[in-house]
Every structure is written in structure tokens, then in C-alpha cells.
Structure 1
Amino acid sequence: MEKLEEQIAHLTRAVDDLSDIVTRQEDEITHLNRRVHMLMQREGEREASTGGAVVMGDERPPHY
């Protein structure tokens, strides 16, 4: 009986630890989603201000 109580205590501790980890990950994901949204808005504003021109990495610059 004592061994079962000990196992339950360990499992309870493991569940609590995992719950804390999941909560931290959820907070981090929320924070990162906000940052991605902000960066997408900023990029959209930048594209709108430059007329939506896309610079391709393999295109020659106009002075060639």
C-alpha cells in the first residue's frame, strides 16, 4: 500500500510539473503569435508604402 501511495505522489508531481510546462509554452506561443502578427502588419505597411514592389534575390539591380 505504501508503495502505491509513493507512486501516486510521484505521478502527481510529474503531472503538476507537466502542467506548469504546458502553461509556460502556452504563454510563449501567445507571445510569439502576437509578435508574428505585429511583424506581418509592419511588413504589410512597408510593402504598401513602397508600392508593393517585390525585390527578387536573383534579379540584377537596375544599374547593370
Structure 2
Amino acid sequence: MPRIRTRTLTTTIGTLVVNVDLSVPLDEEQFADIQAALLKHQVIFFDNPRLTPVQHRDFAA
């Protein structure tokens, strides 16, 4: 799977995560990239995730 990309939203907090399909399980590298983005930017948003309620639950777990 391709690596994620992020787009910083402000100079102090928040980033937009793009280039990731949240409807399928993430590989270890993608998970680590998302975790690093969350730690660095404190708030992350996903670009158009298109998740069913079950997929959303599974991703959150």
C-alpha cells in the first residue's frame, strides 16, 4: 500500500491525512505514519473516508 501523505492545516495544530483507504485494514507502515501524524499535529482529519458504520468501528479499534 502507498504511504500516507499529510497536509498541515494550521501552524499550531491539525493535519489532513490523504492517500489512505480507511475501508481496508492498514498495514504496519500506514498505521505508524498515522500515529506519528497524530502525535505531531495533535488533531488529524481524513480526506473523504467513505466508511460504513462497521468499517468506522473497525478502524477506531
TM over 0.5, shorter chain = no
Query: Which structure: larger Rg?
Result: 1
Relative to total residues, which structure has the larger strand share, 1 or 2? 2
Instruction: Tell me the TM-score normalized by structure 2.
Output: 0.28
Relative to its length, the structure with more helix (as a share) is 1
